Structure 1
Amino acid sequence: MPNALQLKADYKKYTLDFKFDAGTSRGVLKTKDSYFIKVYRPEYPNVIGTGEAGPLPKLSMDDLPQIEEVLKDYIEKFSQQRIQWSEKGILEFARAFFDDQHPSIRFAFETALLDLYNGGQKKILENDFYQNNSPIPINGLIWMGDYGFMESQIEKKLSDGFSCIKMKIGAIHFEREFELLEKIRKRFTADDITLRVDANGAFPVEEAMGKLEKLAELDLHSIEQPIKAGQWKEMGHLCQKSPVPIALDEELIGVTTLEKRKQLLDNIHPPYIILKPTLLGGIGDTREWISLAEERGIGWWMTSALESNIGLNSIAQLTSSFQTKMPQGLGTGQLYHNNIPSPLKISKGEIFYDKNTQWGDWQ
């Protein structure tokens, strides 16, 4: 195998259709566009590496109306590059070649190149999830909606054997959301069911502490992003005083330099951070966040960002490479009518890779 390769790339737009109206604090999603990247050696066009650029509407830096023009420009320039053919060389190339403002595109090319490096078999990294069928515990995600819709989701997750439930809050009246969580806690202790909530920045700063004190009655594991991102002083105060441990999520988006990442963690010092490779710049950037967090005694877990099974597979393998036992946010593969058929399976609150199942075609 040569030390440096010149490769070709292409992409295909793919629109994913939700099975239900997916309510978020930024609106309701019915469909979501992804862009599947393939890379290959011109002399071996049938061996391809695959990645997914799946910018999250109204949140990703590269949620752009001209994203296809950006992709075409990258693909044209990509074919003129020579890439050092090793995992380290691939990640260094991606960090240098793809702009910080296009994190999902960088992640897609990273994973496509690593897939090709490992033989085009959907293996991205050395990890037990892919190689040894080791399951990853995940949380059951409860989407925003009316009371009945949210209650039915909770019942389904509990009956499916999830021991960690994460509920998005901020869509209906706080007291009604509290009532739903209280119902779970009355049935199950914190030893039986772990409860997480995600506010997506919905709490006004002046109301946040009062709501956190109320939520503390429910023995929650954590709350994600209680107030809007960018308020470091206020968030730092909440992290110090909150009776519910806080996890930063949107706060990390757009913080692209090592120095700024250090400043954010040192100023706010949260108990946890949430890592979404699609939003943060991919594998190399996610590893950097983890290293900085662990140096400071800050916990973390990985979360998918509504990718198809192509992107979800990459994130699960990255997660598995760290040997973490904490429940992860990797349950999004069941959201779509037309997801890419894959070996990714969920059973009793765990995701695993079933080597007996083949990948479906997306081309």
Structure 2
Amino acid sequence: MKALRNLVFGYKKHILDFKFDAGTSRGVLKQKETFYISVCEKSFPDTIGYGEAGPLPKLSLDDFPDFEQRLAELISQFNDQDLSLEHIALDDFVSLHVPAHYPSIRFAIETALLDLRNGGQRLIFPSDFTIKNKSIPINGLIWMGDREFMLEQIDHKLNDGFSCIKMKIGAIDFDQECELLGYIRKEYDASQITLRVDANGAFSPSDALEKLNRLATYDLHSIEQPIKQGQIEAMRRLCEVTPLPIALDEELIGVVDFEEKRLLLEKVKPQFIILKPTLVGGLRSCDDWIALAEKMNIGWWITSALESNIGLNAIAQYTATFEPYMPQGLGTGQLYHNNIESPLKIDSGTLIYDRQLDWGI
């Protein structure tokens, strides 16, 4: 492993502009604030590693009003220490120097250092994905909105060749959402199109099972976070009797300690977990979740969380190391007018890394 000496850290703020009003259970997003973290060695200033810290509003553990100030202070602390990784493993750097309640910064620092170690070429984990254009299957995401907007998105994703559709629910009338699922199922059965839904905690514990029973009639692959996080006993009971697989998403946020992760999974016994590195504290934290889930026969997949192509690239390259066969949630790179140009492309329901395309500035 390359030793990194006399590191110089920096950051730059960037406002991402959505191509449309992105509806979520926490409101409509028109813009998203993100921060690009850079790191280089003093002796090699032109070789730079980049990471992205972009906490999600009203969701991320580090969604602080003074996030930029805290980030600037942390960067200043790093530079004041004249840090060197010569005598510690790279994997330990984040846990030693970045507080656990800064999960998006942990992810950014971690990936920036990995990028730097590999020559500052945005190659975080070289693999067949980056070298041989091996694709990653992904789901096509249907954003919340009125019926016509969601129907338009569904038709677009189906025409684009997606074989897995994920629909956010909880924004419009539940009957209309079921009607949209029925629209897909009328033309495509489960062997042709995999359907996922994401409730983002929209159901109450009292009516969740009734709604799950109704959703199960559409032969769904899974439902993400049917009730709000933090209701552990209610979620445990729901996972025990559910007619369709439940995937924990927001429930994983803030669960930092390895033992806490183990206890959560052992108690709730979900059918799946969904890993968002920006929200759960980076790639090493994801390693822990994956190890625990596989030991307990719990399925998992990885999802981006509205990052630009800098963060999405790191997540995609990490995901590719597992050679996934199940569709992942990595289709968010097309959301913005002013994204960073990258080799990432979506082709017929898969994400590819086209080496003929260059990285933008």
After TM superposition, the score normalised by the length of structure 2 is: 0.98
Distance in 1 between residues matched to 2:224 and 2:209, nearest whole Å:
14
Structure 1 residue 81: deviation in Å? 4.8
Query: Deviation digits for residues 89-139 of structure 1, max 9, x if unmatched?
Result: 222111121111100001001100100000001011243212221100000
Shift of 1:53: 0.2
Q: How does 1:331-346 map to 2 (within 5 A)?
A: 331-346=331-346
1:40-91 superposed Cα distances (whole Å, 9 cap, x missing partner): 01111111001000111110011111111111111112121534359x8222
Return the letter of the residue paired with 2:210. Answer: G
SS at match of 2:206: helix
Corresponding residue SS for 1:84: coil
Q: Residues 51 and 112 of structure 1 are in contact (CA less than 8 Å); yes or no, is this contact kept in structure 2?
A: yes
The letter of the residue matching 2:183 is K
Asked if 2 retains the 8 angstrom alpha-carbon contact of 1:3 and 1:84, the reply is yes
Unpaired segments of 5 or more residues in structure 1?
none
Paired with 1:169 and 1:97, the residues of 2 have a C-alpha distance of 39
How far apart, in 2, do the equivalents of 1:308 and 1:169 lie? 24
The alignment status of 1:158 with 2:158, answered yes or no, reads yes
Cα separation, 1, equivalents of 2:50 and 2:359: 12
* Letter in structure 2 aligned against 1:138: I
Report 1:257-296 matches (<5 A).
Answer: 257-296=257-296
Give the Cα–Cα distance (whole angstroms) in 2 for the partners of residues 112 and 357 of structure 1: 21
- Structure 2 Cα separation of the partners of residues 128 and 288 of structure 1: 24
- Matched position secondary structure for 1:110: helix
Counterpart CA distance in 1 for 2:239 and 2:308 is 33
Q: 1:81 & 1:272 partners in 2: Cα distance?
A: 42
| DSSP-derived class of the 1:218 partner | coil
| Alpha-carbon separation, structure 2, partners of 1:352 and 1:249 | 25
Q: What is the 5 A alignment of 1:350-361?
A: 350-361=350-361
Residue in 2 that maps onto 1:252: 252
Name the CA distance, whole Å, in 1 between partners of 2:119 and 2:253.
32
The count of aligned residue pairs is 360
2:209 aligned with 1:209, yes or no? yes
Instruction: Work out whether 1:218 is the aligned partner of 2:225.
Output: no
Partner SS, residue 217 of structure 2: helix
CA distance in 1, matches of 2:3, 2:160: 48
Q: How does 1:63-74 map to 2 (within 5 A)?
A: 63-74=63-74
- State the partner residue of 2:97: 97
Equivalent residue runs for 1:1-363 within 5 Å: 3-79=3-79, 80-84=81-85, 89-361=89-361
Distance in 2 between the 1:302 and 1:189 partners?
25
CA distance in 2, matches of 1:117, 1:65: 32
For 1:232 and 1:37, how far apart are their aligned partners in 2? 35
Assess if the C-alpha contact under 8 Å between 1:6 and 1:82 holds in 2: yes
Letter in 2 for 1:120: G
Aligned-pair distance for 1:342?
Answer: 0.5
Shift of 1:186: 1.0
Is the contact between residue 114 and residue 124 of structure 1 (CA under 8 Å) also seen in structure 2?
yes
What displacement does 1:215 show?
A: 0.5
| CA-atom RMSD in angstroms | 1.3
Q: Any idea what SS the aligned residue of 2:34 has? A: strand
- Which of structure 1's runs of 4+ aligned residues deviate more than 4 A? none
Distance in 1 (alpha carbons) for counterparts of 2:188 and 2:86 = 51
- Structure 1 residues 311 and 2, CA gap change in structure 2 (3 angstroms): closer
Paired letter, 2:63:
D
- How much does 1:259 deviate? 1.2
Gaps of 5+ in 2: none
Q: Residue 58 of structure 2: SS of its match in structure 1?
A: coil
Provide the identity percentage.
Answer: 59
> Could you tell me whether the CA contact under 8 Å between 2:343 and 2:353 is conserved in 1?
yes
